[in-house]
Copies of this chain bind each other. A is one copy, B any other.
Amino acid sequence: MSPSSSSPHAFRAIDVIRKKRDAIELSREEIEGLVNGYTKGDIPDYQVSAWLMAVVLRGMTRPETAALTDAMLHSGEVLDLSSLRARKVDKHSTGGVGDKTSLVLAPLAAAAGVAVPMISGRGLGHTGGTLDKLEAIPGFNVNLPVVEFRRLLEVCGCAMIGQTAEIAPADRKLYALRDVTGTVESPYLICASIMSKKLAEGIDALVLDVKTGSGAFMKSEKDAAFLAELMVETGERMGKKVIALITDMDQPLGNMIGNALEVVEVVEVLRGGGPEDLRELCLELVGWMLHLGGVAKSVTEGKEKSARLIASGQALERFRQMVELQGGDPLIIDHANRLPKAQHTMQVQTNKSGYLGSMQCEHIGTACVILGGGRERKEDSVDPAVGIILHKKVGDRVDIGEPIATIYYNSEPKAERARQLVVASCEISESAPSKKRTLVHRVIGKSAGAD
């Protein structure tokens, strides 16, 4: 009866905005209309940003979240990897400090017989990005056309590239808008963003590493678990096998933070060494990848199989092959000095003896960004050489004068700022922490009891 009822079937963005504002569930058609209209440029930024804010404050139902993911996924191409015989499995992390597991997992899982078509992102904020780490390897090319990506997967079983223009263009446009309108922090929008991109890889199964703690985007375990459940359910609605591990990010993962340094640590792990926490998490994640990928009956079997592939050197060989196929210098594996190297180092010491009680993990990540190892703005370039090596982890004994970390730097003033931040982020306590935080807090998903 209202004047606007003269064309009742025409899609109007304003109606969809109002419904979400008033907490009324949107239909699949309404969500598709909005996403497609925005991607095509028919719906302006200012309407979509109002809708995004309504989503942040009103939330979404599970069917709405699935419909949004689906609409974003189908805004672009879904890779056709049906020519690959192996099951296609990927891993995605919500981002942390020192998290270089992707570089270990892709060749390791490929060596075990699953295909890993990994499309990754760059670092933003205090977290590192897989693409930045890969590009620390001289010559490594993360910008491959889809045909080349597919060929490498056939040859090597794994390939690691950046997002292409064809993959989920709606997500690129929406993410850029969310970034400037205070609408990043919504589990529903985060879920749709991650899952649309991952499902566009044409995968069969996905292992999610949802970080929680002072270095994660989701500081509380409750928020992390909520996001994990959302992503698992959304993936399952689309017929994929999805599992999520809630893992600890209350201190950096491993000892090295910074792009070239992290490649060094990846090689250490693939050689059978490396820090215990990083090694353990890699085995947990790859165990799940192999189990969901159908090459291990259980997660334990997957872990054991992977341990053998590391011990035999096959995992490292697969990494060498991938680096070479993507144009990188494979000699960095045996000659770490061929990686970009910072000009100076500086020791970080505490002014107090005791135990390393806790770390403000986000600040360690920020210290690395300050050194030039990450981006303060999207358009910034990254210095691959700089970074931090931690000599102490939470729970370790620390004495005055003993270095807790070494800073690798190319600018003295930046190094001094980073040093102060590292010192400030370490809490030294009188006694050793009573209980060690476990690395894997929970496993969420239908197959969660598979171990």
Chain A residues within 8 Å of B, Cβ to Cβ: 1-4, 6, 14, 17-18, 21, 44-54, 56-58, 125-126, 177, 180-183, 363, 366, 369-370, 376, 421, 424
Of the candidates B3, B44, B52, B421, the one whose C-beta lies within 8 Å of that of A366 is B3
- A181→B57 contact, CB < 8 A: no
Cα(A45)–Cα(B17), bound, Å = 16
Q: In the complex, what residues of B have CB within 8 A of residue A363's CB?
A: 1
Across chains A and B, which 7 residue pairs bring their CB atoms closest together, nearest first?
Answer: A17-B182, A45-B46, A50-B181, A53-B53, A3-B376, A49-B50, A46-B49
Of the candidates B48, B58, B125, B424, the one whose C-beta lies within 8 Å of that of A57 is B58
Apart from the given pairs A45-B45, A49-B49, 9 other A-B contacts in the complex at a CB distance below 8 Å: A1-B363, A2-B126, A3-B126, A17-B53, A21-B182, A45-B46, A46-B180, A50-B50, A50-B182
Q: How far is the CB of A133 from chain B (nearest CB, A)?
A: 19
Cα(A366)–Cα(B54), bound, Å = 29
Q: In the complex, what residues of B have CB within 8 A of residue A2's CB?
A: 126, 366
- A17→B47 contact, CB < 8 A: no
Cα(A14)–Cα(B48), bound, Å = 16
Beyond A3-B369, A366-B2, whether A46 also contacts B181 by CB under 8 A is yes
- B47→A180 contact, CB < 8 A: yes
- A181→B58 contact, CB < 8 A: no
Beyond A54-B57, A57-B57, A57-B58, whether A181 also contacts B47 by CB under 8 A is yes
Beyond A1-B363, A1-B421, A3-B376, whether A17 also contacts B58 by CB under 8 A is no
* Of A44, A126, A180, most B-chain CB atoms within 10 Å: A180
Q: In the complex, what residues of B have CB within 8 A of residue A366's CB?
A: 1-3
Q: In the complex, what residues of B have CB within 8 A of residue A56's CB?
A: 21
* Complex A-B: 18 CB contacts under 8 Å: A1-B366, A1-B424, A2-B126, A3-B125, A3-B370, A3-B376, A4-B376, A6-B376, A14-B181, A21-B53, A21-B57, A44-B46, A45-B46, A46-B180, A46-B181, A51-B53, A53-B53, A57-B58
Cα(A93)–Cα(B1), bound, Å = 24
Cα(A363)–Cα(B421), bound, Å = 65
Q: How far is the CB of A226 from chain B (nearest CB, A)?
A: 18
Q: How far is the CB of A105 from chain B (nearest CB, A)?
A: 29
